[in-house]
């Protein structure tokens, strides 16, 4: 009877997990597809120790129920129990518990449960997909791959499978924090506050003192999310208590925290807990294949958050040294790519070599309309032999149009790169740089560039990059930036620069922050995972 009750509980967990998956939003973006990233038994050439049977006297062992329970609760790790045939295996083992198992069926179930558990552990540690599926290019040093099979064998031989499965969870920064938040949102289930959508706004935005028929529904959602007390009862108008709660909500959802509820805030308020669970599950998938800090220092740019962070590793501990706002590529047409490369140079008072696409699409048409723009912006032409011309002519414009010449902007206050450029060589010509338009950093959404990343605090970043070159003091850095003469400095030690994409972050003492999927990367990953799922 004990085993029958256990399997009934297991099946109940499976049904719950499947319902949560069904509630995730359908994403219409068509992704590139790739095989599921996993190591099968046939891919491992070295002899492997035999896996102990999951049966004793034709009945499932306690370890079998532990393994089945882990597969049934794969959703708690942001995985899908269907990928491991958890429901079918649970039914088969339940039948075996009741009637026993023939030797041939027992051998088959032994192999199937062992393979399913191995794959589950590999997926949990290394992800179900390769980052190349989404054209993410991470050139990081190879790390030792988790040996899921031997981990299970040794755990079973030592009688500690349950503990070993807990220990197998990834030791990735923020993984457990996001997982804990995901479990809280899973616990909300089908919260009644999201049973119906919020009614349309009567005007462009809901302002303090306004009446709105959806106030009670907004209050219920903010209370469920912890921005209002659980027993809060709204009045007939949008009052100060609700405004303060809305500001907190906006700050945690990548919105302008002004307390005004407009279309963008309304859209985020309409996202259900089940959809947030899916968003966090996708974030866990990305964390599994995003490179970790593998050197003494690392610079990380999170694109949808519009934030750069600089980390330092000391004595096995990772310390956040620097954080600043950034501007990234426009979501519509010039997205910043996701990749990892090593920073090797800093260029002070840089020239801006206008990319040919920008020159043909923007600069040359502007010069034809307004010839004074050439001298105002400090442009010059560079021929194939390297000679420079400061004279605007129709022939020079045609030469740039035809790809024979190029156009560049001299160092100075109008230079599009500002007064410093951080170079990590890559085939997409992406780099970090300052900007002559710092006012744009005050915007909540900051995708304004042609793909490169504009930084808010260039001197501070230069100090971090050059901290092991002590002759480069703050004064010397600032002088080189103001000099107006281009100078390129090679770093003594390359620094990894990771451009990453995470729409969920845990910070400020454990608060969960969500950011809009500006490049539709979550949508593409969700579709890719569904397409790669085995039949």
Active site positions, annotated? 433, 452
Return d(Cα 495, Cα 312) in angstroms, integer. 11
Are the C-beta atoms of 526 and 282 separated by less than 8 Å? yes
The DSSP secondary structure of 417-447, one letter per residue, reads TTTEEEE---TT---EE--S-GGGGGSSS-E
The CB density around residue 180, as the number of other CB atoms within 10 Å, is: 13
The one-character DSSP state at 306 is T
| CA distances (Å), origin 502, targets 302, 515, 518 | 6, 8, 11
What 3-state DSSP class applies to 508?
Answer: coil
Find the length of the chain.
Answer: 535
Structure tokens, 513: 């922050």
The CB density around residue 480, as the number of other CB atoms within 10 Å, is: 20
The one-character DSSP state at 349 is S
- H or E element: which one contains 475? helix 474-482
What 3-state DSSP class applies to 308?
Answer: strand
Question: Minimal CA–CA distance to 277: which of 79, 533, 70?
Answer: 79
The CB density around residue 258, as the number of other CB atoms within 10 Å, is: 15
- H or E element: which one contains 490? strand 487-500
Return d(Cα 247, Cα 205) in angstroms, integer. 14
Return d(Cα 86, Cα 101) in angstroms, integer. 19
Long-range own/partner contacts, residues 509-512 (CB < 8 A, 24 or more apart): 510/177, 511/252, 512/178, 512/181, 512/252, 512/280
């Amino acid at each position: 009877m004990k085993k029958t009750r256990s399997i009934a509980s297991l099946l109940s967990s499976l049904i719950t997990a499947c319902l949560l998956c069904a509630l995730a939003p359908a994403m219409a973006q068509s992704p590139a597809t790739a095989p599921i990233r996993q190591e099968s038994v046939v891919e491992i050439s070295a002899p492997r120790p035999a896996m102990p049977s999951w049966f004793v006297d034709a009945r499932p062992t306690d370890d079998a129920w532990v393994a089945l329970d882990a597969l049934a609760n794969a959703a708690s790790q942001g995985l899908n129990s269907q990928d491991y045939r958890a429901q079918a295996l649970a039914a088969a083992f339940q039948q075996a518990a009741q009637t026993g198992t023939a030797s041939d069926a027992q051998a088959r179930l032994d192999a199937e449960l062992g393979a399913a558990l191995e794959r589950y552990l590999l997926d949990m540690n290394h992800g179900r997909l390769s980052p190349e599926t989404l054209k993410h290019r991470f050139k990081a040093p190879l790390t030792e791959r988790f040996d899921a099979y031997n981990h299970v064998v040794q755990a079973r031989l030592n009688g500690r499978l349950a503990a070993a499965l807990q220990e197998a969870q990834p030791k990735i920064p923020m993984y457990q924090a996001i997982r804990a938040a995901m479990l809280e949102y899973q616990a909300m289930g089908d919260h009644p506050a999201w049973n119906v959508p919020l009614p349309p706004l009567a005007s462009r935005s809901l302002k303090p003192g306004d009446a709105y028929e959806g106030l009670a529904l907004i209050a219920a959602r903010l209370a469920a999310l912890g921005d209002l007390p659980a027993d809060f009862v709204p009045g007939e108008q949008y009052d100060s208590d609700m405004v303060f709660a809305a500001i907190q909500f906006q700050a945690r959802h990548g919105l302008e925290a002004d307390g005004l509820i407009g279309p963008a805030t309304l859209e985020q308020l309409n996202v259900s807990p089940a959809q947030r669970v899916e968003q966090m599950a996708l974030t866990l998938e990305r964390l599994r294949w995003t490179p970790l800090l593998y050197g003494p220092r690392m610079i990380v740019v999170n694109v949808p958050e519009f934030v750069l962070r600089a980390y330092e590793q000391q004595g096995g501990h990772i310390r956040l040294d620097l954080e600043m706002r950034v501007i990234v590529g426009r979501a519509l047409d010039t997205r910043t790519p996701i990749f990892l490369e090593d920073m090797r140079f800093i260029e002070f008072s840089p020239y801006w070599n206008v990319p040919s696409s920008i020159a043909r699409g923007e600069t040359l048409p502007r010069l034809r309309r307004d010839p004074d723009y050439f001298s105002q912006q400090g442009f010059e032409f560079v021929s194939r032999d390297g000679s420079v011309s400061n004279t605007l002519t129709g022939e020079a414009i045609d030469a740039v149009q035809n790809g024979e010449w190029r156009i560049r902007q001299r160092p100075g206050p109008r230079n599009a790169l500002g007064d410093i450029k951080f170079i990590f060589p890559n085939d997409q010509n992406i780099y970090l740089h300052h900007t002559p338009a710092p006012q744009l950093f005050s915007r909540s959404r900051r995708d304004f560039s042609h793909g490169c990343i504009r930084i808010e605090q260039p001197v501070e970043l230069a100090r971090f990059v050059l901290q092991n070159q002590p002759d480069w003091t703050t004064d010397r850095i600032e002088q080189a930036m103001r000099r107006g003469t281009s100078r390129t400095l090679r770093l003594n030690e390359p620094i990894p620069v990771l451009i990453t994409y995470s729409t969920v972050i845990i910070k400020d003492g454990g608060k969960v922050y969500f950011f809009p999927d500006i490049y539709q990367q979550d949508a593409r990953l969700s579709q890719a995972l569904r397409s790669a799922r085995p039949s």
